Structure 1
Amino acid sequence: MARIAVIGAGMGAMATAARLAVAGHQVTVYERGATYGGAVGRYARDGFAFDTGPGLVHLPAVYRDLFVKTGKRPLEECAELVQIDPAVRYVLPDGRTLTFPGGSHGGAAAAVDAAFGPGSGDRWSAVLGRARDAWDATRRPLLEEPLKQDRSALGRDPYPALRGSGLLRRRPPTLAEVAARELGGGGFDELLTSRVRAYGVDPATAPASATVLPYMEQTFGSWYVRGGVRELATAVYERCLERKVAFEFGAAVREVLVQGGRAAGLRLADGTEVTADHVVCAVDPQLVKVPLTQDSAPARTEPARWYTLFAALRGARDADAVHRTLLGPVTVLRPDDPATRPDAEHEAVTVHAVVTEGSAPAPTAEDLLTAAARAVPGLRERLLWHELRTPADVRSATGSVDGRVPAPSLAGAGGRLLHPANTTGVPGLYLAGGWAHPGGGLAHAGMTGALVAGLIVEGADFRGSR
């Protein structure tokens, strides 16, 4: 039995801790804040409740596997996940709306045909077909296996080239170029670019392989957790407690200690030293003095910054409302969940905007209310109060540098959008969470638990999650 110290109590950290504990190790989690979950928090006021982080779960199989591997009760007995249907409604720049059914490729194609004319659905399906090829080529190396030392293969964009495409012959295209060339304008390209932008990925600089993100949603669905996604964090935390994981809250870590060339423990901010056989850093490595080599240094890309507006509304949620609406760079979430509101005569609405390097200026509360009013009838008249959360609030809650939020890893772009490997140049020191391979987002961060636990338990023989 090894003593393992985990830095941070976010989703990736807790997924790692639970898996290591069930393998028989003594695991202690050290968290600078007062609670678990990292970015997956909850804000409550006047009977309204809002998720402060992700509002939906994509690829829920990651957490189903976690619960299968760490205890007797499956995820469905610990948290209620519901696939949202319709999956998403788009409000296009010209005011038209387009609604995609949940988990249906054929239904999505039919909706596109209705909005953009016969044959448009086939074009959309063709793009998603090429996205499927990119997903098949990268699913295991990019999501389920430790990052190999030779990353050249993942540096190449796996999105298949169109025949006769001078653009594709000249250089690998960006996602925005793929959307414009293969879908065209008139708002059709927005179906692809806005879905990817919601992950904190800039379509103007992202490789075409970013199409795997909408492919993943359309294939595996988008899921809501009854009571809010915070309930998923609570379920993972309680599973950790069941497996005898110890949590130390209010315990900021200053430094990873190294003795004899390998990780040997932690030094806390109050000067306390903790000994450990293995250390897992599951926070942004820039927050802690961590002896990283160049290969395991933080990603060079500029992560996104999130602006979130909570809106408390009087009046019942209208009958034809959908859970998620996309309006370019803005996402509006309207969960039909009694746990989010004082009663049926009120509604809680969350509005997200993602700002990436070189994109539009930071939105104001008025900007987000104006955008949300295009998706929520009578929003201005119904508004009781609103509150804006900025990257400064993200920094306060999670400690992330400048309130940044990591995006999922993507193949292509010369490897620029890959995250550091889970192993480091220091034996006994591992990286987990959204700042490590395979990157940010609930599913990707959760996968770090399987990868890091596999590397510690199986060592060099570990070949990936099964």
Structure 2
Amino acid sequence: MAGIAVIGAGMGAMAAAARLAVAGHRVAVFERGATYGGALRRFERDGFAFDTGPGLLHLPAVYRDLFVKTGREPLESCVELSQVDPASRHVFADGTAVSLPNASRAGVVEALDGALGAGAGERWSAFVNRARDAWDATRRPLLEEPLRPDWQVLGRDPYPAVRRRGLFGRGKGPTTATLAEVARRELADPRLVALLESHALAYGFDPRSAPASAAVLPYMEQTFGSWYARGGMRALADALYERCLARRVEFTFGAEVTGIVEKDGRAAGVELADGQVAGAEFVVAGGDPVRLAAMVPGGPLWGAEDVGPEVRPERAPGRFTVALALRGARPGDAAHRTVVHGEDRAAELAAVFGEGAGPRAVCHGPTVTVLRPDDPASRPDDDHEAVTLSATVAAGGPWDREAAEAAADRLVERAEAAVPGLRERLLWREVLPPADDEPVAGPALAGREGRFLRPANRTRIPGLYAVGGRSHPGGGPAHAGMSGAIVAGLIVNGEDWRGSA
């Protein structure tokens, strides 16, 4: 069978490699870094361990399918997955708090009514019902299939906005809007608005410009649940790497690919930084499509009529992380994930998405996600606790030490709403600002004339494919895994393949 060169060892690239290897192809992976897993990173020190990328898995069916299709052992035989309950706890700017149960529509309605007042749950439920319509309309074209040649049809927002009322809206049909406009019009309560917009912010989307179809983000979480892998999300990367090795995928680390070799008008291998050339009949490239395009001097990989890598209207922000080692046991009733919502929505959105990078900083009261896994693998013993704080911050860099420490101080101060007495329990902290080439990558979204789509997996060079969170169908562990499935499907089944039935 054909030899395949894979650039990068992120989750999308490894998902493609495992599927291609089990189909009988010889697969070699070239990773410029020292390890695999892409965004699923883990920081360890003194017996403590912290996820520094995505902390939870949504849509676990993507990896269940991957492991079933690539070997005899199912996913749960390789990774211990469990649903976290509550799925999340939210502390709003006015001090109101609510815990939302995992994958329970009725439970979420009851919890919101109890915390925010009668009717809040029903408003949220009606919104999620409309989000379901958007999910049903886009699930296949934006998750399970290659990006369609007539991708322009995905520029229309499928979110079924409510009909306008009032003197100037009477008789007019549904309108499309940004996520922020939908939130203001349909949810009304600023706490429900914050709940919705926090999902967008976590994926690096500005709710003021993101399409209403971004409503699928909370829908996916609420419908398919939030799952944690014992040993952290890095355990999922470990399992996929081991599956690749079992299927005889070859990995070379510290191997930077600097060019794509072409022969007779198609991809024929990769050129490494040390001058070596590895021949291949197909090349699968993970990472940044802009960087991939720079490896091919012969012309653009995506034409003017295609979805290009510069299609997003703003630079994707990054994830600022602080790892905290605490003395004292984790309370048994602690929520795995708590979102402490921002104090000033306008100021936070301006700081994260405003024009011009300026000095690196966070706003006064940022939205902070607090992860407190009940996982013995995360701590040296039961008399200690590992806590991870993260916030979405503006793109650009670098972060100097003073700015990073000041930002960490703000995250720790905010996190005390989720972990009372946090600073008194602190043994040490590690500040992990984002690198400029590590943006938060969200899934592709329909609407807004296609500005939130991702470059197609197929390129204009036969035999060269793009994979991973910055290509179709976008970022997040599940979507990256699906990009690997799509690329493998195109190579194994041919260019006319339109996705699994």
After TM superposition, list the pairs within 5 Å mapping 1:60-459 onto structure 2.
60-165=60-165, 172-288=176-292, 289-291=294-296, 292-294=301-303, 295=306, 297-301=308-312, 302-328=315-341, 329-356=367-394, 364-392=407-435, 401=437, 403-459=438-494
- Identify if the C-alpha distance between structure 1 residues 58 and 170 changes in structure 2 by more than 3 Å, giving closer, same or farther: closer
1:398 maps to what in 2?
Answer: none
Query: What is the deviation of 1:97?
Result: 0.4
8 Å Cα contact 2:4-2:27 kept in structure 1:
yes
SS in 2 for 1:68: helix
Give the TM-score, by structure 1 length: 0.95
2:22 maps to what in 1?
Answer: 22
- Identify if the C-alpha distance between structure 1 residues 107 and 174 changes in structure 2 by more than 3 Å, giving closer, same or farther: same
SS in 1 for 2:323: strand
In 2, the alpha carbon distance for the partners of 1:15 and 1:465 equals 16
Query: What is the deviation of 1:260?
Result: 1.3
Query: What is the deviation of 1:427?
Result: 0.3
Which letter does structure 2 place at the counterpart of 1:389? L
Greater mean alpha carbon deviation, residues 453-462 or residues 214-223: 453-462
Greater mean alpha carbon deviation, residues 146-155 or residues 122-131: 146-155
Which letter does structure 2 place at the counterpart of 1:313? L
In 2, the alpha carbon distance for the partners of 1:117 and 1:34 equals 51
Which letter does structure 1 place at the counterpart of 2:98? L
In 2, the alpha carbon distance for the partners of 1:255 and 1:459 equals 25
In 1, the alpha carbon distance for the partners of 2:156 and 2:389 equals 35
Query: What is the deviation of 1:116?
Result: 2.0
8 Å Cα contact 1:311-1:350 kept in structure 2:
yes
SS in 1 for 2:55: coil
Deviations 1:119-142, CA, capped at 9 Å, x for gaps: 221111000000000000000000
Query: What is the deviation of 1:47?
Result: 0.9
Deviations 1:309-355, CA, capped at 9 Å, x for gaps: 10111111123210011122321100000100111111100011112
SS in 2 for 1:326: strand
In 2, the alpha carbon distance for the partners of 1:158 and 1:197 equals 21
Which letter does structure 1 place at the counterpart of 2:281? D
SS in 2 for 1:364: helix
Query: What is the deviation of 1:413?
Result: 1.2
SS in 2 for 1:280: strand
In 2, the alpha carbon distance for the partners of 1:356 and 1:63 equals 31
In 2, the alpha carbon distance for the partners of 1:170 and 1:76 equals 44
SS in 2 for 1:460: coil
SS in 1 for 2:269: strand
In 2, the alpha carbon distance for the partners of 1:442 and 1:162 equals 32
Query: What is the deviation of 1:163?
Result: 1.6
Residues matched between the structures, number: 456
8 Å Cα contact 2:87-2:225 kept in structure 1:
yes
2:357 maps to what in 1?
Answer: none
2:345 maps to what in 1?
Answer: none
- Identify if the C-alpha distance between structure 1 residues 236 and 82 changes in structure 2 by more than 3 Å, giving closer, same or farther: same
In 2, the alpha carbon distance for the partners of 1:426 and 1:350 equals 42
Give the TM-score, by structure 2 length: 0.88
Query: What is the deviation of 1:287?
Result: 3.1
Query: What is the deviation of 1:223?
Result: 0.3
**Alignment gaps of 5+ in structure 1:** 396-400
- Identify if the C-alpha distance between structure 1 residues 357 and 404 changes in structure 2 by more than 3 Å, giving closer, same or farther: closer
2:361 maps to what in 1?
Answer: none
Greater mean alpha carbon deviation, residues 306-315 or residues 173-182: 173-182
| Aligned alpha-carbon RMSD (Å) | 1.8
Identity of aligned residues (%): 61
8 Å Cα contact 1:299-1:417 kept in structure 2:
no
In 1, the alpha carbon distance for the partners of 2:136 and 2:302 equals 31
Query: What is the deviation of 1:356?
Result: 4.9
In 2, the alpha carbon distance for the partners of 1:45 and 1:34 equals 18
Query: What is the deviation of 1:67?
Result: 0.2
8 Å Cα contact 2:164-2:174 kept in structure 1:
no
In 2, the alpha carbon distance for the partners of 1:350 and 1:465 equals 38
8 Å Cα contact 2:161-2:182 kept in structure 1:
no
SS in 1 for 2:495: helix
SS in 1 for 2:147: coil
In 2, the alpha carbon distance for the partners of 1:197 and 1:405 equals 10
Query: What is the deviation of 1:164?
Result: 2.1
8 Å Cα contact 1:263-1:279 kept in structure 2:
yes
